[in-house]
Chains A and B, each alone.
Chain A
Amino acid sequence: MAISKIENKTAVKIALLEFLRSKYILYAISLILFIIFWDISAKMNGRFLPRPWAVLMELINGINEPIAGKILIVHLWYSLKRVFIAYAIAIAIGIPIGLLMGYSKLINAWIKPIFDLFKPMPPIAWISLAILWFGIGETSKVFIIVLGAIVPVILNSMNGIRLIDPSLYHAIRMLGGNSRQEILEVTLPASLPAIFAGLQISLSMAWTTVVAAELMGAREGMGFIIIRGMSVSNPAMIVGGMLVIAVTAWLLSVLMTLLERRICPWKTELEH
């Protein structure tokens, strides 16, 4: 009797420890501690740092109370629309360029020096030129986002082709495959994960850039919300906007991961 009681107790203890060690519990604890820390800091310095509660209220208000004529979700939609347009353009131009650069040493030799020259330049550095060329409308924003988003697409498409293990081509050839089968069976699937990784980086790059572009002058969008919060001295609006930006970025990356699992099941199988 007594022994089994002790055993029970240790079992409970072990279960509790396991529970505390579980990843998700730790995530939750970490977040809660952060919010508490945030709240205490805000209480001590309330003028410039809003309390979590105030930010939440601000976000709830934003659901139906317009900011500069548009409710929060519409602002979010504006930013997303710019990202998606620019992203589509970056993919449509970037993947073919990257694939060609990976495929042909000659084409690579032509494009690489120019690409390397522009690659390290932060896209936002183009803003003045973009405004000169395209005005302050949508085009200049989309242009800047394309510049930011296209770099990882090109790089990864190029490496995706270049780093294919030649023994895979050998295997196809020995089984009697022709060059069309080599492309379909090896080149495409083998470069897909790398291309996809590029698309993932590119999307987060695009999202970062849209906010930066909107900070520089826009009447709508998440970057605008932040500027607006500053000009009306409403820190809760600023932090609320930042939160929406962060959550959106996270959701986009989750979306891409799910998509990758669908498209390249052989890559991710081990992780689940």
Chain B
Amino acid sequence: MSKVSVTGLTKEFGDLTVLKDVSFEVNKGEFLCIVGPTGCGKTTFLNLLAKLIPATKGTIYIDNEEADPKKHNISFVFQEPSSLPWRTVKDNIAYGMQVKKIPPAEMEARLEKVIDLVGLSDCINLYPNEISASMEQRVAIARAFATNPDLLLMDEPYGQLDLKLRFYLEDELIRIWTESKNTVIFITHNIEESVYLADRILVLSNKPTTVKQEVLVDLPRPRNILDPEFSRIRNQVTDLIKWW
């Protein structure tokens, strides 16, 4: 059963063709990583999927219908900071739940859990301009987790974080995903990260962008980066993108 199905997706900005006739499916409950060169259109793809910008050609369906954030329970962790400057850390994280009218008691419980998860308990009352880039990114991550999305879109979410925090949040993401059985589309630059997380990796080409190849990662979790099979897949992906 496919959660997301993309058919013949093309996106042009004026003369610039960014995505050209891209088609693929994402299964329900799948963890999909997308890797591709900078500027190939990864962010553009997620924006199309979320219906934030219109496609030039082609279709994207979520649960066999047009994506609609008011109907589908989607969360999007943007690449760029996107917290609301006039809301404190806590109120930013709570906002999605407020929109979705989660009962207050349930909301408080979830808030406490996600805030603790991303390690922001000490700064819940600060405004975004008072915290670091890494902390702001964690606000976005917590905000996305808090609404228990069916479909979680993450655009290079861990790029701003230091190594230790990244490893920790990768494991937490896998834990949350295993528990909730949601579908995750995770964009990254980091090949090791993609092999560590994904059920399947889509490797994109340069512009005009198509799916260059799919790589299945059929390894048990938690994964061991020292496992020879892990290295083999990592090298395979690395070879695929050597030509960027």
Contact = CB atoms under 8 A, between A and B. Distances in A.
Contact of A175 (B80, B85, B95): B95
Interface stretch (B3-11, B67-75, B108-116, B217-225): B67-75
Contacts of A266: 85-87, 127-129
B78 A175 contact: no
A173 B69 contact: yes
Given A170-B52, A265-B127, A266-B127, A175 B69 contact: yes
Contacts of A190: 85-86
B99 A170 contact: no
Given A178-B70, A181-B99, A171 B82 contact: yes
Contact of A189 (B80, B86, B99): B86
A96 to B, nearest CB: 22
B70 A167 contact: no
A162 to B, nearest CB: 17
Interface in B42-62: 47, 50, 52
B76 A174 contact: yes
B78 A171 contact: yes
Given A185-B84, A186-B84, A189-B86, A174 B75 contact: yes
Interface in A228-253: none
Nearest to A170: B52
> Which secondary structure characterizes the binding site on chain A?
helix
Given A264-B86, A266-B85, A269-B127, A176 B99 contact: yes
Nearest to B101: A176
A270 B130 contact: yes
B99 A269 contact: no
A167 B78 contact: yes
B7 to A, nearest CB: 23
Nearest to B92: A171
A178 B70 CA distance: 8
A255 to B, nearest CB: 22
Interface string A178-191: 10010001100110
Nearest to B70: A176
Given A176-B69, A181-B99, 6 more contacts: A167-B82, A174-B76, A175-B147, A185-B84, A266-B127, A266-B128
